[in-house]
Amino acid sequence: MSKSRLVATFFLCLGAVGLFLGAQLWLGGPLPNGSGTCKAVCGITMLAAAAFGDASGRLVGELLWVSAGLFFALLGGAVAWRRG
């Protein structure tokens, strides 16, 4: 397996995880409570939930996870497509 194919697979998997986490919040999964290892996205989600309520925290978390997931999935697809 070439290096570019390995990198593309890694980014596609990372994007799939981001999309999964965004969908989990969208479908009513629990908001992060700060006990896990998630720092940046979960911290921003908790800050929005504390400042504006749970609904806005959920929306911010969904948007951040889905945008990160799409970014990495598209990056993996671009690497895979470029190297064919």
Non-local CB neighbours of 76 within 8 Å, separated by 6+ positions: 7, 8, 9, 10, 11, 12, 13, 14, 15
- The three-state secondary structure class of 34 is coil
Task: Output DSSP code: residue 29.
Answer: P
- The pTM of the full predicted model, rounded to 2 decimals, is 0.83
Instruction: Flag whether pLDDT at 7 surpasses 80.
Output: yes
For residues 30 and 45, give the distance between their C-alpha atoms in angstroms, rounded to a whole number: 11
What SS3 state is found at 9? Answer: helix
pLDDT in tens, 32-68: 877 777 788 889 999 999 999 999 999 999 999 999 9
